């Protein structure tokens, strides 16, 4: 199995998200950066699939040179190769990002053969455009399903299929995608492992293939980020001990939910 | 014309579609254009008349073999084909998981920009340039964006407005649209469905009892379960809980979990980090139980009990039993 996993470097969210003075980015000076959660699970899933079926995982990211940290993190939990499409660090719109990733994947496939599976996060934790994976999969002619919280690869069934599970209210749906395929995964598909010491050491040696992109900006551009107006709530304190229970039940009765 | 793509599941309209129709009614008025709707894989009279109640003057329906159940590629191509034929000035869907997915499929197929989870859309005089405010970080941060497009593809932020029918209901006219779909699009149509539980689910429960790190262990959720069952509700939890493996991820309330909309959310032992708040904030009322009076969840709640949840939750259960006896 050759699996490609796309990840995004995002600020690690804390209690509050602050914006830089120019309003063009999240002030991450106190937050640090991480891999967007859905994609962290995507890497774990890809590694688990290769542990069961053999093969290799390539992790691809588009971002500033520092996004190499996220590729090294992926290597520390089992990914084999890392590719960085370097930007100047400005926010790229979804169309431009998708074109750049599509070009990069085409290049990788031309050099080393097609990927059996492309793994995307359902949406990035920060800008949340909900479209990059779908655009890339469409451009490459691969079937894609989003919202995936379970993957089973069956290499025996006619040319290979990916059975994907997606949560619905009170149950799940099953999709069966012919390989080569693509999925947009969500957190909860697995519980990502922590890097081992050995993994950390190996990740230091990861050779990162760096390339640029001449993708043109799309139709959407960022003007300004700002925090939503906070509604001030007057919190009524019902008590400071279990003695507050009758007051709580009064509230529940008033709302008609008892 | 503003075209709203209606999300439905086997003929049952999704709340996100009602929200999109409500959002779309205002946008259509701003555009000076009629509000129309697109129904994919269904032509039920009930769906058509409900769209009319929300102000849609015409409902275009596409029925085809590969649209027998939901399939992102088939639905995306059907919607794209309807757009090619109908030439709407803008297209909108609800910002649910499926709604965003369908619109992304449409955007890829028509090679147009798509803006997800919009809160405000301004025509800006209508010269093909739109000023949009949309959600980032699940709504914890807002983005003012500029969109240059002859045909904006948009979704409306999920649960950011209440679905409201039009003041004057319209008798929607149903009109079938012939869509020529390649049978190969069936490759991403739902193959099977497995129902694990009938009845109330986390996203529809009228009462949600939430537990966070403060609950302390998987076993310590039992009193929360008892109270939830007594109120016909469900137990939810924070990301810390699922990351510890105490509860399945399907119980998680948050940006990477479920967005809940109960009459009341009882959040116990939950500090209220941004990630959790995003999933909880559409609750109509919030009652926090926490030993920390400064906790974000307490500050944002309508009511709070500043005490140990392990004592308060059983006391609430006992009080309800006493009153019912």
Nearest to B138 among A26, A128, A143 (CB): A128
Count of C-beta atoms within a 10 Å radius of residue B183: 10
- Mark residue B57 as left, alpha or beta (left: phi above 0; alpha: psi -120 to 50; beta: remaining): alpha
Give the residue-averaged pLDDT of A16-21. Answer: 89
Percent of chain B with pLDDT over 90: 94
Chain A residues whose beta carbon lies within 8 Å of the beta carbon of residue B278: none
The verdict on A173 touching B (C-beta cutoff 8 Å) is yes
Q: A15, A19, A44, A128: best mutation site toward chain B, by most B Cβ within 10 Å?
A: A128
Question: What pLDDT sits at residue A158?
Answer: 79
| pLDDT-wise least confident of A7-16, B182-191, B250-259, B314-323 | A7-16
Per-residue confidence (pLDDT) for residue B125, from 0 to 100: 63
Tell whether the model's pLDDT for residue B117 goes beyond 70: yes
Of A188, A235, A248, the CB nearest to B252: A188
- Segment B105-116, tens digit of pLDDT: 999 999 999 999
Residue A14: what pLDDT? 65
Domains B2-188 and B207-324 share a fold: yes
On the question of pLDDT at A117 being above 80, the answer is: yes
Judged on CB neighbours under 10 Å (0-12, 13-18, 19+), A204 is exposed
Contact yes or no for B63/B41 (Cβ under 8 A): yes
Residues of chain A contacting residue B97, judged by C-beta atoms under 8 Å apart: 122, 146-147
Q: CA angle, A255 as apex, A251 and A258 as ends, to 5°?
A: 80
pLDDT (mean) for B38-65 = 97
Q: How many CB atoms lie within 10 A of CB B158?
A: 23
Nearest CA in chain B to A144: B188
What pLDDT digit, counting tens, does each position of B122-132 carry? 987 667 899 99
Residue extents of the structural domains in chain A: 2-226
Residue of B nearest to A19 (CA): B141
Distance CA A185, CA A120 (A): 6
> Is residue A180 reached through a cis peptide bond, with omega within 30 degrees of 0 on the bond before it?
yes
The fold for domain A2-226 equals Rossmann fold (3.40.50)
Architecture field, domain B207-324? 3-Layer(aba) Sandwich (3.40)
Q: Is the pLDDT of residue B260 over 90?
A: yes
Please state the rounded mean pLDDT for residues A23-41: 93
Helix or strand or coil: residue B73? helix
Residue B308, phi then psi, degrees to nearest 5:
-75, 120
CA B175 to chain centre: 27
Judge whether A25 is closer than 8 Å to chain B, CB to CB. no
- What does the pLDDT read at residue A232? 80
Mean pLDDT, chain A, integer: 95
Q: What is the least distance, in Å, from the CA of B137 to any CA of chain A?
A: 5
CA separation, residue B282 to residues B121, B214, B253, B307 (Å): 21, 23, 11, 25
Is 90 exceeded by the pLDDT of residue A86? yes
| Chain B nearest C-alpha distance from A181 (Å) | 10
Domain ranges of chain B: 2-188, 207-324
Q: List, in sequence order, every beta strand (DSSP E) within chain A.
A: 2-7, 9-11, 33-35, 56-63, 81-86, 117-121, 144-154, 161-168, 171-178, 181-185, 208-211, 220-226, 236-239
Query: Would you call A235 and B304 a contact, using CB atoms and an 8 Å cutoff?
Result: yes
How far B123 CA sits from the closest chain A CA (Å)?
14
Contact B135 A128 (CB under 8 A): yes
| B2-188, CATH topology level | Rossmann fold (3.40.50)
Directed axis angle between helix B97-110 and helix A132-139, to 10°?
Answer: 40
pTM listed for this prediction: 0.94
pLDDT 10s digits, A227-252: 998 778 899 999 999 999 999 999 99
């Amino acid at each position: 199995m050759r699996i490609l996993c796309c990840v995004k470097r995002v600020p690690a969210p804390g209690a509050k998200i602050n914006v830089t003075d120019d309003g063009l980015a999240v002030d991450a000076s106190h937050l640090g950066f991480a891999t967007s959660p859905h994609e962290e699970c995507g890497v774990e899933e890809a590694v688990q699939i290769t542990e069961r079926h053999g093969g290799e995982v390539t992790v691809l990211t588009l971002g500033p040179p520092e996004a190499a940290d996220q590729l090294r993190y992926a290597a520390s939990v089992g990914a084999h190769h890392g590719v960085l499409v370097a930007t100047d660090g400005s926010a790229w719109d979804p169309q431009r990002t998708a074109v750049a990733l599509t070009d990069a994947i085409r290049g990788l496939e031309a050099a080393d053969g097609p990927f059996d599976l492309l793994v995307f996060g359902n949406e990035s934790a920060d800008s949340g455009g909900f479209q990059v994976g779908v655009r890339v999969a469409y451009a490459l002619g691969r079937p894609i399903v989003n919202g995936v919280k379970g993957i089973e690869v069956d290499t025996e069934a006619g040319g290979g299929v990916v059975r994907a599970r997606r949560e619905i209210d009170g149950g799940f749906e099953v999709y069966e995608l012919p390989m080569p395929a693509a999925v947009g995964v969500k957190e909860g598909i697995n519980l990502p492992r922590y890097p081992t010491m050995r993994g950390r050491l190996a990740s230091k040696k990861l050779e990162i293939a760096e390339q640029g992109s001449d993708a043109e900006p799309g139709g959407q551009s960022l003007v300004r980020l700002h925090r939503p107006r906070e509604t001030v709530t007057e919190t009524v304190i019902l008590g400071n001990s279990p003695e507050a229970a009758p007051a709580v039940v009064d509230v529940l009765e008033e709302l008609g939910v008892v | 014309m503003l075209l709203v793509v209606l999300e439905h599941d086997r003929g049952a309209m999704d709340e996100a579609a009602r929200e999109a129709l409500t959002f779309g009614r205002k946008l259509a008025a701003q555009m000076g254009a009629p509000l129309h709707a697109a129904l994919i894989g269904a032509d039920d009279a009930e769906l058509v008349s409900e769209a009319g109640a929300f102000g849609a003057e015409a409902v275009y329906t596409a029925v085809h073999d590969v649209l027998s159940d939901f399939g992102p590629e088939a639905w995306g191509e059907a919607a794209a084909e309807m757009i090619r034929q109908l030439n709407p000035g803008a297209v909108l869907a609800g910002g649910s998981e499926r709604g965003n997915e369908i619109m992304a499929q449409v955007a890829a197929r028509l090679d147009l920009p798509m803006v997800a989870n919009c809160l405000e859309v301004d025509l800006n005089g209508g010269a093909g340039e739109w000023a949009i405010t949309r959600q980032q970080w699940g709504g914890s941060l807002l983005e003012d964006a500029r969109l240059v497009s002859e045909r904006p593809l948009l979704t409306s932020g999920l649960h950011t407005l209440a679905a409201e029918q039009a003041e004057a209901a319209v008798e929607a006219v149903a009109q079938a649209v012939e869509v020529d779909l390649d049978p190969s699009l069936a490759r991403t149509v739902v193959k099977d469905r497995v129902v694990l539980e009938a009845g109330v689910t986390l996203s529809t429960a009228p009462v949600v009892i939430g537990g966070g790190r403060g609950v302390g262990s998987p076993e310590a959720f039992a009193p929360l379960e008892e109270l939830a069952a007594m109120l016909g509700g469900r137990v939810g939890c924070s990301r810390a809980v699922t990351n510890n493996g105490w509860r399945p991820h399907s119980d998680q309330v948050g940006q990477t979990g479920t967005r809940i909309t109960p009459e009341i959310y009882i959040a116990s032992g939950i500090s209220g980090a941004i990630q959790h708040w995003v999933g909880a904030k559409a609750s109509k009322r919030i009652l926090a139980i926490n030993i920390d009076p400064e906790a974000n969840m307490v500050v944002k709640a309508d009511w709070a009990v500043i005490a140990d949840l392990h004592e308060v939750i059983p006391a609430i259960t006992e009080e309800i039993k006493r009153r019912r006896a």
